[in-house]
Amino acid sequence: MDRVGVLLLNLGGPDKLEDVGPFLYNLFSDPEIIRLPFSWLQKPLAWLIASRRTQKSQENYKQIGGGSPLRRITEAQGEALKEQLQALGQEANIYVGMRYWHPYTEEAIAQLTQDNIEHLVILPLYPQFSISTSGSSFRLLDKLWQEDPKLQRIEYKVIPSWYKQPSYLQAMAELIAQELDQFPNPDSVHVFFSAHGVPKNYVEEAGDPYQQEIEECTALIMQTLNRPNEHTLAYQSRVGPVEWLQPYTDDALEELGAKGVKDLVVVPISFVSEHIETLQEIDIEYREVAEESGIENFRRVPAPNTHPLFIRALADLVLDALKSPSLKLSQVYQMKKKVRIYPPERWEWGITTSAEVWNGRIAMLGFIALVIELITGRGLLHMIGIL
């Protein structure tokens, strides 16, 4: 029988407090997370932002036991998926490939090549596609594939996003219903979906389908839940000075409090495991915002983690993918992004899009240099060791 592998893609998180700095450096070094006009700026800026954020981020990780539970939960999901596939008659090795921390995607790829995997299913553990999450992992895999002829012999299938999968929707509905039923009047509880945000320009300029997939997913979960509750969708975890998708979770909670909502359940929607943004940001920070705004009963729906219906959803996704036609990683990426040829790389004279882009890049560079000088009190050239 052919050797089948499943590669679970995820973000990764620091296992202990000392890992927070290097984890943040890896994250901000990714051009899919911070988009800069010049690639040589990426590493010094990543170092600067990571250094400035480490202490605050460590404080947050301290509040959830000193590290991220992401590795443990993702590995448990992998084991449960292996058993479920076996029960459905499909033997498969499961590999976990994290983008910014151990076990890195490169480590998973090295292992699956050593195991002589012949058919591989690439399954991101993000229900909805974003350039900043699944997109970043697909780009990395595409690069690894192009560099390694051994990998090119593996027949692979990519699952770009899967927020419509019926067992996933059913698992989410069941988890929400369980939480609603803890209230004396379940039907009058406000259901509050909190998605991880992305900068607004990802959607409006770069063609990220993330917002549309989040909105559709929310509507499908409400349909599956089939209860009369009112609901709201908002975006959390904004980082940096630019505008992100709105409404922001804290503003929306304050608004609902002011309108007199007393009972509320929060549903984390863009991630399938507990992590810092559920355990710290929602359970601690947003609970405080809600209570100060007059919301008296605040509960949170757990992430799907290893819920049997959710694991069944993952198994069905793998089985369906094995039967489907192959698409190249680069094709999947282009298909998901509503492709805009941006930015144009070729210089053209006159008042052209290209000239506008180059003007923009030069202005951006000046602006970034100014911001760096304002924050650090030192000029950019000093910082990167030129002066």
Q: Please report, in range form, the residues annotated as the binding site.
A: 196, 277
297 sits near Fe ion (criterion: CB under 5 A) = no
Complete edge-to-edge strand list for the sheet that includes strand 190-196: 231-236, 190-196, 263-268, 297-300
Helix (H) or strand (E) holding 233: strand 231-236
Nearest residue (CB) to ligand L6N33NVT, 61 versus 192:
61
Distances in Å between the alpha carbon of 52 and those of 5, 21, 233? 40, 9, 31
Binding site for ligand L6N33NVT (CB under 6 A): 11, 13, 27, 33, 53, 57, 68, 70, 126, 130, 132-133, 196, 198-199, 239, 270-271, 275-277
Nearest residue (CB) to ligand L6N33NVT, 85 versus 336:
336
Q: Which does 140 bind (CB under 5 to 8 A by kind): ligand L6N33NVT, Fe ion, none?
A: none
Phi, psi (deg, nearest 5) at residue 328: -70, 150
Nearest residue (CB) to Fe ion, 5 versus 14:
14
Nearest residue (CB) to Fe ion, 52 versus 153:
52
Q: Which does 57 bind (CB under 5 to 8 A by kind): ligand L6N33NVT, Fe ion, none?
A: ligand L6N33NVT
Contact 236, 277 (CB under 8 A): yes
- Provide the annotated binding site for Fe(2+): 196, 277
- What one-letter code names the amino acid at 9? L
CB of 53 to ligand L6N33NVT, least distance (A): 6
Return all residues near 266 (Cβ < 8 A) that are at least 6 apart.
Answer: 192, 193, 194, 282, 286, 298, 299, 300, 301
Q: Identify the residue whose tokens are 């479920």.
A: 84
Q: Which does 355 bind (CB under 5 to 8 A by kind): ligand L6N33NVT, Fe ion, none?
A: none
Q: Identify the residue whose tokens are 């690639």.
A: 39
Q: Please select the residue that binds Fe ion; options are 63, 93, 111, 237, rule is CB under 5 A.
A: 237
CB of 23 to Fe ion, least distance (A): 11
Helical pair 353-376 and 42-63, crossing angle rounded to 10 deg: 50
Nearest residue (CB) to ligand L6N33NVT, 146 versus 302:
302
Give the interface with Fe ion as residue ranges (CB under 5 A): 237, 277
